[in-house]
A = this chain, B = another copy of it.
Amino acid sequence: MPLALTRTVFHPILNFFRLSSRLESKKKLSRSIAHIIGERPSNLRLYQLALRHTSASKETNIKGFRESNERLEYLGDAVLGMVIAEFLFKKYPYKDEGFLTEIRSRIVNRETLNQISRKIGLDDLIEYDGSRGRTMPARTSMYGDALEALVGAVYLDKGFNFTRRFVLKELLTHYDLEALVQTNANYKSRLIEWAQREGKEVRFEIIQEKGNSHYREFIAQVTVNDEPFTTGSGYSKKKAEQAAAEKAFELLQIK
């Protein structure tokens, strides 16, 4: 790199400051991560990557391959899912797998992960659009995605046992598990409650029904004030309605 060399020669002091400020920001990130996970990172690069949103992805030497936290998110999602699967398996020895699956999906729900990500201060560290901070709109999965990516980074950096402890002690403690278990997952009845509260009229209709003796499928439609809103499909009328109501819920962002 002849240009860089020239620079070093001509601006040794400027270069020194540049280098030391980069070192300073690395040290700061290392301290922040240590604060979150309870131990100094061994490989800081993993955490830098975990905090890099797609919008700030970087070119690599591989043509067409840009680097962001998405691969680490994929890994962290699997690690998180497994640690929580074991936790619930042991906590509820007499509950069936349907219950365990449902509660786990509530725990790793995107909105909940977003909240926890903010609680532990990860939102301040995310790099996106070239800048760091929290001016992004609240309705994004960016924070939760970064949290999953962080779990992936911790796993690669510190191994399974450390990560398992981190998830159980630093993340799961933010949950009100009892409230989560009690939550009403009946989207149809919750949507009706919402409509009553808001003075809207909600209707459910089965708009299609297909199949033969081996295979049966229903499509339900939700209308809000007589306007078609969402549809959902399922192998029973009830399931189709629940699917349509759940989509309506997501769209309406009902809390």
**B-binding residues in A (CB < 8 A):** 60, 62, 65, 70-71, 73-75, 77-79, 81-82, 85-86, 89, 94, 96-97, 100-101, 155, 160-161, 208, 210, 214-215, 217, 219, 228, 230-231, 233, 251
Q: How far is the CB of A45 from chain B (nearest CB, A)?
A: 13
Stoichiometry (number of copies) = 2
Chain A facing B: main interface SS: helix
Report yes or no: A62 in contact with B94, Cβ–Cβ below 8 A: yes
Check A89/B74 contact, CB under 8 A, given A81-B82, A233-B233.
yes
* CA of A136 to CA of B82, assembled, Å: 31
- Give the 3 A-B CB pairs with smallest separation, nearest first: A78-B85, A74-B97, A82-B82
Specify which chain B residues have a CB less than 8 angstroms from the CB of A70 in the assembled complex.
96-97
A231/B210 contact (C-beta < 8 A), A71-B89, A86-B75 known: yes
CA of A73 to CA of B100 in the docked complex: distance in angstroms?
A: 11
Whether the pair B60, A94 counts as a contact (CB closer than 8 A) is: yes
CA distance A162 to B155 in the complex (A): 17
Chain B residue with Cβ nearest A100: B74
Chain B residues in 8 Å Cβ range of A219: 208, 219, 231
A94 touches B65 (CB 8 A): yes
The answer to whether A210 and B228 touch across the interface, beta carbons within 8 angstroms, is yes
Q: How far, in whole Å, are A75 and B95 apart by their CA atoms in the complex?
A: 13
Bound complex: CA of A82 vs CA of B71, how far in Å?
A: 13
Can you name 15 A-B residue pairings with CB atoms under 8 Å? A65-B94, A65-B96, A70-B96, A71-B89, A71-B97, A74-B101, A75-B85, A77-B85, A79-B85, A86-B155, A160-B160, A208-B219, A214-B251, A219-B231, A231-B233
Q: Smallest CB-CB separation from A75: which chain B residue?
A: B89
Across-interface contacts of A75 in B (CB, < 8 A): 85-86, 89
By the criterion CB–CB under 8 Å, are A251 and B215 in contact? yes
Chain B residues with CB under 8 Å of A82's CB are 78-79, 81-82
